[in-house]
Chains A and B, each alone.
Chain A
Amino acid sequence: MKKYISSFISGFGAGVLQIVPVLKNLACCALIPIASYIAILLDRRANHDNGKMSLKKGLMIGLITGLYAAVFGSIFDLLITFITRNNDFIFAISQLQKVMNDFPLNEKLKQEVMTMITGVARDIQQYGFSALYTVSIIMNNFIINSIFGIVGGLISSQIINSRINSDNSEF
């Protein structure tokens, strides 16, 4: 745990920011890679490490940051959905209904998909919880955040190393 405290801190931060609407829109897919970069910088600062860093370490820090962000992001998302009985999914329903009507599909299939979607929306509005929504949000967060965490970790390590290389070549 202590080894990955920097991942914990920035993963927690990213998890919180993931559910803040305006920041979420601004940061887009950059939130987790930025969190990984901060985690790497914090780790280097804590270990007084000024040399080149191993890409393996960058990958691990990125992955763990992404996983922490997924854990906290999912918890906060589900908690806020439970308290407010509202979320982005409810806002997207009307748009989804409009799109669904435009699709050249048979009515039975349209009905089936709409029943599934409205069932999730009804559960959220009535109980603040939907099993399907919970599973999908947890799975999506874990997949996306760990991938973007790894990408962020690798790119950040490479940038840090190339900066060290260029600093050394100046002398």
Chain B
Amino acid sequence: MHLQIPDKNVSNKIIPISVLILLSIINLSNFSQFLVGTSDVFIYFYVASQNLLSLICHQQESKLFDFGNYHSLLCSRCTGIYFGAFMNGIVIMIFEIKKFRWTKFFYFSIFLMIADIIFYQLKFYDYSQIIAIATGLIFGITSIGILFMAIDILVKEFKGSE
């Protein structure tokens, strides 16, 4: 199978912008319960979001963010991951950060996340939404850094093969 980007002058920014749009949809879906109050149409968006996000998060009730009658559809850690990825994606795009050693921070973020999971599973401390969202946030930030770096190289590879 051979992949080819149809447009020869494909902009390096099209793919990162698509990734950011996707992340914004996920973040919006996460809080779709709050939108239902604003317009009836959003009820279908909420039902679809509930169904779709159940594939990427366990949605355990005790780990969701509660705001009165409403709650987020992603757990604290996943909320952190997708929000962190979205925010850092915007920062990378605006400031055009290209040379940064994301990989080392990526390993560190995985270590933090796994350490948190092990520690609360072994009852060293109770599950904390703050720690979960913080570790998720760091993981999201570093993941999007590596992903954007990879996309940059990928676009160059495609351009080079033309």
Binding site for B on A (CB under 8 A): 24-25, 28-29, 54-56, 58-60, 88, 92, 95-96, 99, 102-106, 109, 113, 117, 136, 140-141, 143-144, 147-148, 151, 154-155, 157-159, 162-163
**Contacting residues, chain A, for B143 (C-beta < 8 A):** 155
CA distance A155 to B143 in the complex (A): 8
> Which residues of chain B from 61 to 81 have any CB-CB distance to chain A below 8 Å in the complex?
61, 69-70, 75, 77-78, 81
Chain A residues near B158: list those with CB within 8 A: 56
Closest to B1 in A: A60
Interface residue count for B (Cβ, 8 Å)?
A: 39
Question: Could you tell me if A109 and B40 are in contact, using CB atoms closer than 8 angstroms?
Answer: yes
How far does the alpha carbon of A106 sit from the alpha carbon of B36 in the complex, in Å?
Answer: 11
Main secondary structure of the interface of A (DSSP, over half): helix
Stretch at the interface among B6-14, B89-97, B122-130, B148-156: B148-156
Residue of B nearest to A104 (CB): B37
A56–B3 touching, CB < 8 Å: yes
B88 at interface by CB-CB < 8 Å: no
CB <8 Å contact, A144 and B150: no
Give chain A nearest CB distance to B48 CB in angstroms. Answer: 8
Q: Which residues of A contact B151 (CB under 8 A)?
A: 154
B137-162, CB < 8 A from A: 143, 146-147, 149-151, 153-154, 157-158, 161
Check A144 against B56 for contact (C-beta < 8 Å).
yes
